[in-house]
Chain A
Amino acid sequence: MTELLKVEKLWKKYSVNLKSTAKYAARDILRTSLGFNPAPSELRDSEFWALRDINLDVKRGEVLGILGRNGAGKSTLLKCIANKVRADRGSIDINGELGHLIEMSAGFSPTMTGRDNVKVRGKLIGKSGTNLNIYVDRVAEFADIGEFFDAPVQIYSSGMRARVGFAASVFIDPDILIIDEVLAVGDLSFRLRCYDQINELTRKAAVIFVSHSLGHIARLCNRGLYLHKGETVYTGDIQQAIRLYQDDSESLSAKSAGRHTFNEDLVSMTLLVNEQRTEDGARVNYGDDLGLHIDASKLAHGAQIRILLKDSSHSLVSDWNSFRSALEWPDRYKLLSAELGKAELNPGSYSFTLQIMDPTGVNLLCMSNSVSFMVKGTRFYDLPSQRLAKWDFNNPDDKFANQPIESMPDVNRN
């Protein structure tokens, strides 16, 4: 495979102080005006390294996913490669045409129609005559915003603007494509078309992709680069990169898990994995049995207990409610067991929290400390909950096997 991009020993620094930034930039401008290198390669006062010694190469057909928390240096790396900011040390060799999906709606004039803006964009990327008309038609069709395409952009919703921006940017033919957090655009059907279009581009080009969505990364990428505080932690297999990223996220998640508590001393719990009591932060395999031992001794008789399952971003994945299960409280009670079923979850960091309501379900009595755990395994797509179905092919001799689906008996008919 052809090596289209090679980054060697790349370093990039920024200043955290606004005055210093202006001062250093002014010096750098003067230096370039006099024909010198823009900046000394050492740190100056109030500067820090945003990228340190980054090495990577991307070949045609490869899709490199860059992972890392906020401030890890992902976008800075992309901007350096796209020559939108200047690297302080190291080299970037690009063999081919570079395209990028960054700030896609940039340059859209609010008073011009979507069509006119797209025409201008087409001309700027070198299209003319019939090619330009074909480009505009393709963008209109892909953006799918109907008659609004001929209305001024200033009346567009942010979603419509993003759709037109994406469509106008994606019909390009680069050798290297840089994508920075652009797939969270529009509704589900539009996003699916975006994936298809990106997949189409990845067949012909080398792609570098930045996203916080592990699902997007797992779905699109075949190689991973994990950055932490501007340094490479890992580069190689995408699943391994995701695992390492999740391991780091787990510790952060555990630290922040106890932040949103209320009367947390009222109740405590222990996680059971395959009926064994475990410590906080336990490792769980996909499909293991999960349960909780809850110390309910301080709870009022008849309280409603809600078990909340949250993912690493603290989004609610699922809940179990004692009221729905019609839990009957005995006269004397202490330990309450809850069997929660199998851990049919995408790999990642999760936590259980107890929300205790009074028997009426109106007043919050307690929000407990969380118990976190980590699901291991291979990641598929982005949904946290991934249940197992019982899959079975019908017997070929079965009377329904050779009938078209629509001719089968419908239980709802009559």
Chain B
Amino acid sequence: MNAAKYQNLHKSLIAGWTLGARSVNIQVKEHMLGYAWNFIIPVIYAICYVYVRQAVLGNRSIVEPADWWDIIRVFSGLTLFQAWYQCLQDMSAFISKNRGMLRGMNVGVSPFIIAVALEASLSFVIRFITIITAILVLGVDLSLSSSEWMWVIGCLFALILSSIAMGMLLSPWAVLFADVRKALQSLSLPLVLITPIFYPAVVDPAYSIYWIEIANPLASPLIVLQHTLSGEGPVFANVMVSWVLLSIFIIWMSAIHIQKQVPILLERMGN
């Protein structure tokens, strides 16, 4: 990498950090509960799940470790799904959201992508800490080896990368067609339903849901995470690694093309 490129990258990182910090600052100011929303909603979902589960199972109390892992799977799945989905939405909307700055300032496109990525990373980290805290509060055994911790962190990276990649892929189309945003909103519930959040992962290729899990970028990291945390080993790890590589490729290609695409999109958006 030559000096000019390094300097540009450094400038983009600083600008990205500034925009990310600004966005966090705005969110904290605009919402009374600030970042607490990151865990309030999953907690509400988990409580509802526990209630419904007990009602369905005839008021059987939660005594078995498997029951706890069941609840942790729902809580962690929903918590991370929301962060993933938020990042997907933010990334797909970054051009239209920042069109004023993209027109009015000479900062390029990269800082805006970096800002969304940083904010998403922060959100994932907060949610991950929340999940670990919840596990410890529930008194569930969490004795992981260092390699298992690596897998857990790898899952977070996989989730961040896939959400950024999908968001970047959609971002030009979201500017051109408002249907993209509508479609994203409509697909959130089906996505939750085809992801092993409310039910355990299916690891048998004989079932069609197994193949849906493979095609779902959200499923494999969550399955690896759930199985690693519960001490069952990183099932689906190869699928997750494939998704990581594909995500990196998509991000790389999108970053190259988006520089040329933004002027077309700014023109499309008008004044």
**Chain A residues proximal to chain B, CB less than 8 Å:** 14, 21-22, 25-26, 28-29, 32-33, 38, 79, 82-86, 98-100, 102-107, 109, 111-112, 116, 120-121, 123-126, 128, 169
Chain B neighbourhood of A116, CB < 8 A:
25
From B26, B106, B268, A22 is in contact (CB under 8 Å) with B268
From B15, B29, B103, A124 is in contact (CB under 8 Å) with B15
From B29, B176, B257, B263, A86 is in contact (CB under 8 Å) with B263
B268 lies within 8 A of A111 (CB)? no
CB-contacts of B247-271 with A (<8 A): 253, 257, 260-261, 263-268
A38 lies within 8 A of B260 (CB)? yes
A29 lies within 8 A of B104 (CB)? no
B26 lies within 8 A of A104 (CB)? no
From A22, A85, A111, A169, B177 is in contact (CB under 8 Å) with A22
A107 lies within 8 A of B260 (CB)? no
A107 lies within 8 A of B264 (CB)? no
**Chain B residues proximal to chain A, CB less than 8 Å:** 11, 14-15, 18-19, 22, 25-26, 29-30, 98, 100-107, 111, 172-173, 176-177, 253, 257, 260-261, 263-268
A84 lies within 8 A of B103 (CB)? yes
B106 lies within 8 A of A126 (CB)? no
A125 to B100, CA, bound (A): 15
Interface of B is mostly: helix
A98 lies within 8 A of B106 (CB)? yes
A109 to B29, CA, bound (A): 11
A109 lies within 8 A of B22 (CB)? yes
B111 lies within 8 A of A124 (CB)? yes
When A and B form their complex, what is the total count of cross-chain residue pairs whose Cβ atoms lie within 8 Å? Answer: 95
A123: nearest chain-B partner, CB-CB: B18
Chain B neighbourhood of A104, CB < 8 A:
104
A339 to B225, CA, bound (A): 93
A111 lies within 8 A of B101 (CB)? no
From A86, A109, A126, B11 is in contact (CB under 8 Å) with A126
A107 lies within 8 A of B25 (CB)? no
A72 to B152, CA, bound (A): 59
Chain B neighbourhood of A120, CB < 8 A:
18-19, 22
A121 to B266, CA, bound (A): 21
B30 lies within 8 A of A111 (CB)? yes
Minimum CB–CB distance for B37 against chain A, Å: 17
- Taking A111-B30, A121-B105 as given, write out 16 further A-B residue pairs in contact, using a Cβ cutoff of 8 Å, ordered by the A residue number: A22-B177, A26-B173, A29-B264, A79-B103, A82-B106, A84-B102, A84-B263, A84-B266, A85-B266, A102-B104, A106-B104, A112-B25, A124-B19, A124-B111, A126-B14, A128-B14
Given contacts A85-B267, A111-B29, contact A29 B11 (CB under 8 A): no
A32 lies within 8 A of B106 (CB)? no
Chain A neighbourhood of B266, CB < 8 A:
84-85
B101 lies within 8 A of A107 (CB)? yes
Chain B neighbourhood of A123, CB < 8 A:
14-15, 18
Given contacts A22-B177, A112-B25, contact A124 B105 (CB under 8 A): yes
Minimum CB–CB distance for B29 against chain A, Å: 5
Chain A neighbourhood of B22, CB < 8 A:
109, 112, 120
A103 lies within 8 A of B26 (CB)? no
B14: nearest chain-A partner, CB-CB: A123
